[in-house]
Amino acid sequence: MDRRAELITRERAYSPSRWARDFEASLSRQAELGVRLRERHAPQRIRYGTGPLEGINLFVPEGQGPWPLMAFLHGGYWQELDAAATDFLAAPWLARGWAFASLDYPLAPEAGIEAMVAACRQAIATLRREAGALGLDGRFHLGGHSAGAQLALMSCLGQGRLTDIAGLWLISGIYDLRPLVGTYIDAPLGLDDGRAERLSPLCQELRGLPPVTLAHGELDPPAFRAQGEALYERARAAGVAAELCPLPGCDHFDILERLEAQSCRADS
């Protein structure tokens, strides 16, 4: 296979929209669900930095707290979407008596992935510092979808890692960035082989992670499913409590609407 053909193959393998049934319809439907939720249950907007995308949409249940928290990072290949894209996920967590936080983070090309990881850590630190005033009980779980899953996981790895997360909830994530180098996906990211390796959870020591729940859809790109399965095996080998939850009939985008069907360690 020549170099151009190999690049095209990699780009197709790591383009979830090409494998999904109708990703635009899924994103539109989820955005509308978020609008409806915010209309009936308005979140509190919390700033954790000075940038326009350094804020948190915090939803808390009705009644008396304190509540455990699921903090969640949206996808969009580190360059698209915002916290509003995952606000709709708050509804089932609120019904269970959990608070839910959709996290914004700076996007490429204005920010590198390292800055996004730092922003996630800063957001959690802000929520930790204000937990009492916000009605949170100190049990913090962290989740993410697609690129957001990579950011959530990297926030718990390496120097400066979050050490007080009770569980990770990772949906259709990408955990090895090396195949992205040189693709159109990488154009706003500016990765090289060294940075891609340093930013890939599959290239890091996983020992010491909190319990991890990994979910992917039957119709996710095979490359994404393979990365999730590899992470599951590596986490187990490192002594991390890990659960793998493949969901039948779901693609990379509509899986977010089917998560209630999954038995999640994060919901225990």
* Residue 198: CATH number of its domain: 3.40.50.1820
**Rounded to the nearest 10 degrees, what angle do helices 147-154 and 113-129 cross at?**
60
Rounded CA gap, 34 and 38, in Å? Answer: 6
Answer for the pair 188, 196: CB distance below 8 angstroms, yes or no: no
65-119 tens-digit pLDDT: 899 999 999 999 999 999 999 999 999 999 999 999 999 999 999 999 999 999 9
Which residues of the chain are under the pLDDT cut of 50? Answer: 261-268
Q: Provide the residue type at 268 as one letter.
A: S
Please tell me the predicted confidence (pLDDT) of residue 64.
86
Domain assignment of residue 144, given as a range: 3-267
Number of domains in the chain: 1
